[in-house]
């Protein structure tokens, strides 16, 4: 099973939109796909328990059906940084619980969405990278296209590589519909980042249906 971890240059940068878009694209290519959100804050109380909108979106974009508890094993209600949400809930994160989500998943592709940016702490002991290594060494970076994005992208990629992970591609998500020199900034990142741009997601009006992005994935083979 191929597994990619989706991270971003910041929080609210478009990781969920990119992950869901990628899941739909892979499904259209005939692949069996599943999405996971191992850790989420900002969850809502429902009769079934805490539910996270990002995790529900990933489930809707997947064609391999999984129970919610496998998609999102750690769900916290406060919309705060994960280490603060876990502390408030009195929960000590266990990576074995996260790795347990991998059991019995029959899919060609597993897309795992992170929380916040790359270096976010998960508790007093763990950083996001400790969670990522449970699933894969291959990372996709979502870059929110707005002023300052080049600096954020380069610093994030530098840390990803320093931590021993492989950047397999990056996604340009146009956050600012009026961004000056959008194509010029994307071209600069194409030149400076050590992996290809595999997805380009246009800006959209939040009141209108999202437009699917353009994907240029490298040749995909099952492993």
When pLDDT is averaged across residues 130-156 and rounded to a whole number, the result is 96
Identify the pLDDT of residue 222. 46
| 62-118 pLDDT per residue, tens | 999 999 999 999 999 998 999 999 999 888 899 988 888 788 899 999 999 999 999
Does 15 qualify as catalytic in the annotation?
A: no
pLDDT-based confidence at residue 211 (cuts at 50, 70, 90): low
Q: For residues 173 and 15, what is the distance between their CA atoms, to the nearest angstrom?
A: 9
From 15, 37, 208, 214, active-site residue = 37
pLDDT, position 100: 83
Nearest CA-CA partner of 217 in 27, 10, 1: 27
Residue 119 gets which letter from DSSP?
T
User: Is residue 220 pLDDT above 80, yes or no?
Assistant: no
Checking 91-96 for CB contacts under 8 A at 24+ apart, the result is: 92/123, 93/39, 93/122, 93/123, 93/126, 95/126, 95/130, 95/131, 95/134
CA–CA gap between residue 47 and residue 69 (Å, rounded): 14
Say what the pTM is: 0.92
Count other C-beta atoms under 10 Å from residue 112's C-beta.
26
Q: Residue ranges per domain, the chain? A: 2-215
CATH architecture of the domain with range 2-215: 3-Layer(aba) Sandwich (3.40)
Strands 44-46 and 49-51: antiparallel
């Amino acid at each position: 099973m191929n597994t990619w971890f989706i991270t971003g240059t910041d929080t609210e940068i478009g990781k969920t939109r990119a992950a869901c878009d990628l899941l739909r694209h892979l499904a259209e290519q005939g692949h069996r796909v599943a999405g996971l959100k191992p850790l989420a804050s900002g969850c809502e109380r429902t009769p079934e328990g805490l539910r996270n909108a990002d995790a529900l979106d990933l489930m809707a974009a997947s064609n391999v059906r999984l129970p919610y508890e496998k998609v999102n094993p750690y769900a916290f209600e406060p919309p705060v940084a994960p280490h603060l949400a876990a502390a408030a809930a009195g929960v000590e994160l266990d990576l074995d619980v996260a790795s347990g989500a991998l059991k019995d998943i029959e899919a060609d592709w597993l897309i795992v969405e992170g929380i916040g940016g790359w270096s976010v702490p998960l508790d007093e002991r763990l950083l996001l990278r400790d969670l990522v290594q449970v699933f894969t060494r291959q990372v996709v970076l979502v870059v929110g296209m707005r002023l300052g994005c080049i600096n954020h992208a380069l610093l994030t990629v530098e840390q990803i590589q320093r931590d021993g992970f492989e950047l397999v591609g990056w996604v340009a998500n146009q956050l600012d519909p009026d961004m000056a020199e959008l194509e010029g900034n994307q071209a600069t990142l194409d030149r400076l980042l050590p992996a290809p741009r595999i997805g380009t997601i246009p800006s959209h009006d939040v009141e209108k249906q999202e437009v699917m992005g353009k994907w240029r994935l490298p040749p995909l083979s099952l492993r």
